[in-house]
Chain A
Amino acid sequence: MAASVCRVGSTVGRVLAKNRSPILLSLRRGQASVSYAQSLVGAPETRLTALDNGLRVASEETGHATCTVGLWISTGSRYESEKNNGAGFFLEHLAFKGTKKHPQTALEQQVESMGAHLSAYTSREHTAYYMKTLSKDLPKAVELLSEVVQNCSLSEAEIEQQRGVVLRELEEIGGNLQEVCLDLLHATAFQGTPLGHSVLGPSSNARTLTRQDLVDYINSHYKAPRMVLAAAGGVNHDELVDLAKTHFSGVSFEYEGDAVPVLSPCRFTGSEIRMRDDGLPLAHVAIAVEGASAASPDIVPLMVANSIIGSFDLTFGGGKNLSSRLARLAVEEKLCHSFQAFHSSYSDTGLFGIHFVADKHYIEDMMHWSQNAWSVMTGHAERAPKLYVVLSYENGHILHILNYGRRIPLAEWDARIDAVTPRLVRDICSKYIYDKCPAVVAVGPCEQLPDYNRVRSAMYWLRF
């Protein structure tokens, strides 16, 4: 009944709209899809339970026919030492090459017969194994995930083969200059600390890591209190908890010799690396200061600041009408091919910076205007587009649980973003940017990049 009324209403509205009468057009407005405010309140609630061994189970039920379920572990390259840097990445390669119960072909066949996607990623502080599948296949998915994580076979033959793959991947990623640039940024900014390690690890480790190293890594870091089993989609929380109890109760929560790995703070060093190669066509440059940790309240103003500076690409069609001042300059003065303001945050520190790709004759200008954008941020700030900040929120929900111990609902994020005033942005930006030593990295034909002392001098204005 209601549906037919709606249908009639919409037909009437469409007819009226066709007549193009402005007053009648306004009748159409009420028929719009759910408003922003409604969607904030209507967001599904996240339910969180902890098992006896410390493993946390989180789920968000949306009633869809598909679901994503995965295991997020608080381990990454930050937990590795110089000797086993790259173990996590290596392990990720071996994860899907067979478990004790299912050899590789059997595993692949199981996954494919469900029509599921099984993938994994390793980052500096988190490792994740997740599967996208149909909601009805949730039990099988959880079982496979538990197999992959707990009972990986780690056969010697596979290890040898994956060595070659890892080395080739290292080679290959050398061509992705953005990754190289940001990896080097971490290496220099956090030099001497575990955060400086690249996720991929040096090639020497790829050649020499043994099965025992990988087993030790699993035993030290794959512990229940550091894991979260999360699912979103058409999942039932209680069912998920039961599955977790069945499959993950065996995950240990004790450390050998009571050696609980404690993350110590990582020192940030203002420094630079220049990898000059005049044979490359474009230069990738990144400049960053120490930013806020993921749990810090300063995160929101910094995200707002980032969305003010924005990003840009040659493919953007906005031209002079782009909202970001730096982007407008990039278009008008042809400063760069692309730039993005980024903020990588970790559990107790972060990197807040700008990365850009420019032709070799425009590096100095682009650097000058980027730092100018920062100075403007510390001097005065405008209202930031909320949308971008909200969109970027979606990626971090699981990490919220790992970092904050709870999932922060969208409504709360909205309130936090609303609470950010231009003055707050200015104060927070001054705190992190003004007169701080940055970390600078340049890859490619970077001769024009000013000397570090000049870049450092541009981090403050003489103003009283």
Chain B
Amino acid sequence: MMSLAARSGAFSPYMQATAFAVAGPLKALLPGVVLNGEKIVLNPKKQFLCRESLNGQSPMRGPVVTVSINGPTGVRFAHTDVRVPDFSDYRRPEVLDPNKSSQDSSESRRIFSYLVTGATTVVGVYAAKTVVTQFVSSMSASADVLALSKIEIKLGDIPEGKNMTFKWRGKPLFVRHRTEKEIAAEAEVNISELRDPQHDKDRVLNPSWVIVLGVCTHLGCVPIANAGDFGGYYCPCHGSHYDASGRIRKGPAPLNLEVPFYEFPDEDTVVVG
């Protein structure tokens, strides 16, 4: 620096010579004079041009004996030499022109960014939800277990008046092919007399077929088919009488036999469950 050079007295010519870094038509370029001795600032063995080595070497941090003009490139002389790189490759088309104000397009650019972000968020949330539900639902019943939950029965094998028992979900399932007489009889029953009032048509999809769980609603025994006083089922454990629709008529059971969910995919088959 000028002030340091002025104050150093006898050394000032050397300081000035080293600090000069300009080539012009009038003044010949002076070769750099590096002072030897303890005052060496730059350690030649040290890795140059890294932050640690340059820390404290930059001109703004105090008097540094500058090296010759052919110094290593990349050491910037002043902050005005900092070049902001050209980011045109990354710019959106609306802001490529440096002679156009960026305010006009600012709203549309922001809207675009926010829309894309919003849409990605929605898609991301949906994807996350899918993944989570897939993992959580993997803990639910597996396919083989679910397969057991339905039973398909061929109705052609069951003659009229007969009741067949199947094992379904660990419980007995009664499938009864009712005769016309039984159907008519059950339809005529006065509901107000029943302990658990339900009309027959509410308990069957197809009146000729009664499908109920064979578990007595009293304490869980299996009723016997075609037994009892009402032409239906009779539970031997405590004497509950059910009719041909599975409704409780006499005995300790409080409710009618349970009707599971079933459907008739065609005339000859029923799928229960």
Bound CA–CA A264/B27 (angstroms): 40
Q: How many residues belonging to A are interface residues under a CB distance threshold of 8 Å?
A: 52
Stretch at the interface among A13-21, A272-280, A410-418: A272-280
Tell whether A173 pairs with B78 under 8 Å between CB atoms, given A163-B22, A269-B95.
yes
Query: Residue B193 at the A interface, CB < 8 A?
Result: no
Contacting pair B103 A290 (CB below 8 A) = yes
Q: Of all chain B residues, which has the CB nearest A89? A: B80
Contacting pair A192 B86 (CB below 8 A) = yes
Stretch at the interface among B56-64, B128-136, B242-250: B56-64
Q: How many residues belonging to B are interface residues under a CB distance threshold of 8 Å?
A: 38
Bound CA–CA A114/B86 (angstroms): 51
How many residue pairs, one in A and one in B, have C-beta atoms under 8 Å apart? 115
A180, A184, A203, A437: residue with the most chain B Cβ atoms closer than 10 Å = A203
Query: Residue B110 at the A interface, CB < 8 A?
Result: yes
Query: Residue A31 at the B interface, CB < 8 A?
Result: no
Tell whether A265 pairs with B100 under 8 Å between CB atoms, given A160-B22, A187-B82, A198-B80.
yes
Tell whether A267 pairs with B98 under 8 Å between CB atoms, given A174-B59, A279-B55.
yes
Contacting pair B77 A170 (CB below 8 A) = yes
Partner of A170, one of B61, B78, B98: B78
Partner of B22, one of A167, A271, A280, A436: A167
Return A5 CB to nearest CB of chain B, in Å: 59
- Kindly supply a per-residue 1/0 record for chain A positions 160-200, scoring 1 wherever the CB is within 8 Å of any chain B CB and 0 otherwise: 10011001101111110000100110011001110010101
Return B24 CB to nearest CB of chain A, in Å: 4
Within 8 A of B (CB), among A250-278: 264-269, 271, 273, 275-278
Return A417 CB to nearest CB of chain B, in Å: 25
Partner of A156, one of B25, B88, B98: B25
Chain A neighbourhood of B60, CB < 8 A: 171, 174-175, 180
Q: Of all chain A residues, which has the CB nearest B69? A: A207
- Kindly supply a per-residue 1/0 record for chain B positions 23-66, scoring 1 wherever the CB is within 8 Å of any chain A CB and 0 otherwise: 11111000000000000000000000001000110111100000
Q: Of all chain A residues, which has the CB nearest B104? A: A265
Chain B neighbourhood of A184, CB < 8 A: 79, 82
Bound CA–CA A298/B226 (angstroms): 97
Task: List the interface of chain A (C-beta within 8 A of B).
Answer: 86, 156-157, 159-160, 163-164, 167-168, 170-175, 180, 183-184, 187-188, 191-193, 196, 198, 200-204, 206-207, 264-269, 271, 273, 275-280, 290, 348-349, 435-437
Ranked nearest first, the 5 interchain pairs of A and B with the lowest CB-CB distance are: A174-B60, A170-B78, A264-B99, A192-B98, A203-B77
